[in-house]
């Protein structure tokens, strides 16, 4: 089963994708994570993406399409029961390319799960977000704290990082990029009849339950 977890920055896509990896053995394909890894490694794509990401704008379609296409050809992805696209596609051009790509690889999209969250809540979610430096588990200053302060629940790590673009100013431009370039994709997928809306304002466990129900209905 291949799905898109769709929603604005901070909606909870990464949080929910990690849970679905565990419950369903699906593989999370986050273009944001892949781009941050490319920036860190200093690859050609990383060099091109760095400034754009810091401004909260979208990197070129060409870069993310190539990254995703290469990733879909890797052995672990091919062996998995399916993938979760997280943060991709973000433009109509990317969605059209994804359709072609999936066709040519003999894959199909089963559903687009849309997480609905108000803009004000997004700013609060993003500015409080942090991540375990060792295992990548996501946390929030208010909404998802580790059981023991300063110690990662998953791996016991004690170092945490915050994203350079998770500040209020950049969040505003990321939200306008979302409304201008990404939200039109909901219509694109509505016309294919595969959109499933979920109340992303609910608590994290509740959102997980809603998504699991949607996936059960698709299976
Ligand atoms: P968020 O947590 O806001 O959903 P991501 O980690 O998905 O953020 O993305 C971080 C940044 O990486 C974006 O602001 C954008 O600059 C870039 N990016 C990620 N995915 C894409 C994409 N599919 N198309 C263009 N740019 C992307
Ligand atoms: P995205 O991948 O869509 O950008 P994340 O999954 O990283 O979003 O979530 C953004 C922040 O909000 C994280 O700190 C996360 O712990 C928190 N969060 C995620 N889902 C919820 C929720 N339903 N309610 C409250 N906080 C949430
Ligand atoms: Zn950890």
pLDDT in tens, 176-197: 999 999 999 999 999 999 999 9
pLDDT in tens, 34-47: 999 999 999 999 99
| pLDDT of amino acid 20 | 97
Ligand at shortest distance from the CA of 156: 3
Ligand 1 pocket, residues with Cβ under 6 angstroms: 9, 31-32, 35, 52-53, 56-59, 64, 87-88, 90, 94, 174
Is this structure's pTM higher than 0.85? yes
Q: Which residues of 56-76 are buried (b: 16+ CB within 10 A; e: fewer)?
A: bebbebebbbebbeebbeeee
- Burial class of residue 21 (count of CB atoms within 10 Å of its CB; 0-12, 13-18, 19+): middle
Q: Which atom of ligand 2 is nearest to the CA of 201?
A: 23
pLDDT in tens, 51-99: 999 999 999 999 999 999 999 999 999 999 999 999 999 999 999 999 9
Which are the contacts of 62, defined by CB distance < 8 A and separation ≥ 6? Answer: none
Closest-lying ligand 2 atom to the alpha carbon of residue 203: 23
Examine the residue annotation and report whether 71 is marked as an active-site residue of this protein: no
Q: How far is the CA of 39 from the centre of ligand 3 (A)?
A: 21
């Amino acid at each position: 089963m291949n799905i898109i977890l769709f929603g604005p920055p901070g909606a909870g896509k990464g949080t929910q994708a990690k849970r679905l990896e565990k419950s369903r053995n699906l593989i999370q394909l986050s273009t944001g994570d892949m781009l941050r890894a490319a920036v860190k490694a200093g690859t050609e794509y990383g060099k091109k993406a760095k400034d754009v990401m810091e401004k909260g704008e979208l990197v070129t379609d060409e870069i993310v399409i190539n990254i995703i296409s290469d990733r879909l050809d890797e052995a672990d992805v091919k062996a998995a029961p399916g993938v979760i696209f997280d943060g991709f596609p973000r433009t109509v051009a990317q969605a059209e390319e994804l359709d072609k790509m999936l066709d040519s690889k003999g894959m199909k999209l089963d559903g687009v799960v849309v997480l609905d969250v108000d803009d004000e809540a997004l700013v609060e979610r993003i500015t409080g977000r942090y991540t375990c430096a060792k295992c990548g588990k996501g946390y929030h200053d208010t909404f998802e704290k580790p059981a023991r302060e300063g110690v990662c629940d998953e791996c016991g790590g004690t170092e945490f990082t915050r994203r350079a673009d998770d500040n209020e100013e950049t969040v505003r431009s990321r939200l306008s990029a979302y409304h201008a370039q990404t939200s039109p994709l909901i219509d694109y997928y509505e016309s294919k009849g595969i959109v499933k809306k979920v109340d992303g304002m609910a608590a994290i466990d509740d959102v997980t339950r809603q998504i699991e129900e949607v996936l059960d209905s698709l299976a």
